[in-house]
Amino acid sequence: MKLSIEQLDLGGRRVFLRADLNVPLDGDAVTDDTRLTGVIPTIEYALGKGAAVVLASHLGRPKGTPSPEYSLRPVAERLGALLGRPIALAPDCVGEETEARARALQPGEILLLENLRFHAEEEANDDGFARQLAALADCYVNDAFAAAHRAHASIEAITHHLKPAAAGLLMRRELEALTRILESPERPVVAILGGAKVSDKLALVEHLLERVDAILIGGGMAFTFLRAMGHDVGRSLVEADRLDTARGVLESARRRGVQLVLPVDAVVAAGVDSSEGRAVGIREIPDTQMGLDIGPLTIDRFAVALRRARTVVWNGPMGVFEKTPFAAGTLALARAVAEGAAFSVVGGGDTVAAVSRAGVAERIGYISTAGGAFLEFLEGRTLPGVAALTEAA
């Protein structure tokens, strides 16, 4: 169990709060403030306990040099509006002026550092750069689970110089939800996996086979498994170099008694830009067509498995859901997850977007803000940002 911000004495202290404020921008406008609202409870908690907050994040990929289009200024303005208080933006994340401004902070004040990735030392996990960051505060809190799989200076190296290192409220909830489904889930446990490629999810599938009762596989990755079983899937996406791997997964699932459920029908079309698709059985996919969504029989089949579940984890859409003709499968699955009695955890940008689009986000047990970190945690990997946190007494 990692130390939480709630276990820190914050009165009169400066908290270095590493957040994930990597939001999409259209010019100077934040187009999705989900990540900003996610960190607000931790900021308000720290301020309410009498701390000053030194807030830090990356934005985009400026390649280690200052770049105006990657400035956090629009973030400071939008976050300040959400919080109802001004947020000052430092001219840099290190340096004499930034240090002076951090030292001058009074309880209840927030200083947002400029983009950490304006310095190449951030992604290099440079110890000297981490020391400079550590000099800005008295204790460290990480609320950026979405970046916890990165061994970067503000995530890992800083914790060697700024202790204690605690989890923020969002980080704590992420860890509790993911640990619950991996270590102490209520059974049956059903995993739903989608997305384009088997290769992207191979480690995840293999790890989940040891922990779940059923895996429902949709999206492009399903066609590699179907081809491995001998089905002709037309022009559907198939990773030919992963067919033996897919056969190995199928055999491992059979040996372990894990139900691996694949589509029995698909919505097919000539390509992703087609204006409509039609549902056909898996054995009836024309040579000139490709599968772009799961079909209605598969939706029903998956829904039956979900009704029996008591724990559900979902990553990856069931088709090209950003295209209206091929969205029905993913949206129907989102509704089926929401309607079930299971504790559900959903992660990954596309999957979270689908749950929101289906209008059922408030009925999901936990929605993870992370993509890569979500997958790596489920794969059983050690995340540098989590490992770096202080163990609770």
Question: Annotated catalytic residue: which of 197, 308, 310, 363?
Answer: 197
Q: Average pLDDT for residues 277-298, to the nearest whole number?
A: 97
Q: Which 3 state secondary structure label does DSSP give 78?
A: helix
Question: Annotated catalytic residue: which of 2, 14, 18, 35?
Answer: 35
Number of alpha carbons in the 13 Å side-chain half-sphere of residue 312: 31
The predicted pLDDT at position 202 comes to 83
**Per-residue DSSP letters for 47-60?**
HHTT-EEEEE---S
CB environment 299-337: b (16+ within 10 A), e (fewer): bebbbebbeebebbbbbbbbbbbebebbbbbbbbbbbbb
Strand order in the sheet with 265-269: 278-281, 265-269, 290-294
The predicted pLDDT at position 182 comes to 86
Lowest model confidence (mean pLDDT) among 75-84, 314-323, 368-377:
368-377
Instruction: Render pLDDT for 111-143 as a digit per residue (tens, 0 to 9).
Output: 999 999 999 999 999 999 999 999 999 999 999
Q: Average pLDDT for residues 339-357, to the nearest whole number?
A: 91
pLDDT tops 90 at residue 156? yes
Q: Average pLDDT for residues 317-343, to the nearest whole number?
A: 95
Question: Annotated catalytic residue: which of 64, 365, 372, 380?
Answer: 372
**Average pLDDT score, the chain:** 95
Q: Average pLDDT for residues 49-70, to the nearest whole number?
A: 96
The predicted pLDDT at position 332 comes to 97
Question: Annotated catalytic residue: which of 48, 108, 128, 349?
Answer: 349
To the query of whether residue 349 is one of the catalytic residues in this protein, the response is yes
pLDDT tier at 375 (50, 70, 90 boundaries)?
Answer: confident
Task: Yes or no: say if 114 and 108 are a contact pair by the CB < 8 Å rule.
Answer: no
Question: Structural domains in the chain?
Answer: 5-170 (3.40.50.1260), 177-378 (3.40.50.1260)
pLDDT tops 80 at residue 359? yes
How far from 367 is each of 91, 174, 175, 384, CA to CA, in Å? 34, 9, 12, 22
pLDDT tier at 222 (50, 70, 90 boundaries)?
Answer: very high
pTM for the full predicted model = 0.88
To the query of whether residue 35 is one of the catalytic residues in this protein, the response is yes
Q: Which 3 state secondary structure label does DSSP give 283?
A: helix
pLDDT tops 90 at residue 145? yes
Share of the chain above pLDDT 90, in %: 88
pLDDT tier at 213 (50, 70, 90 boundaries)?
Answer: very high
pLDDT tops 80 at residue 157? yes
How far, in whole angstroms, is CA 179 from its chain's centroid? 15
pLDDT tops 80 at residue 369? no
- Give the strand pairing for 25-26 and 110-112: unpaired
Q: Average pLDDT for residues 39-54, to the nearest whole number?
A: 98
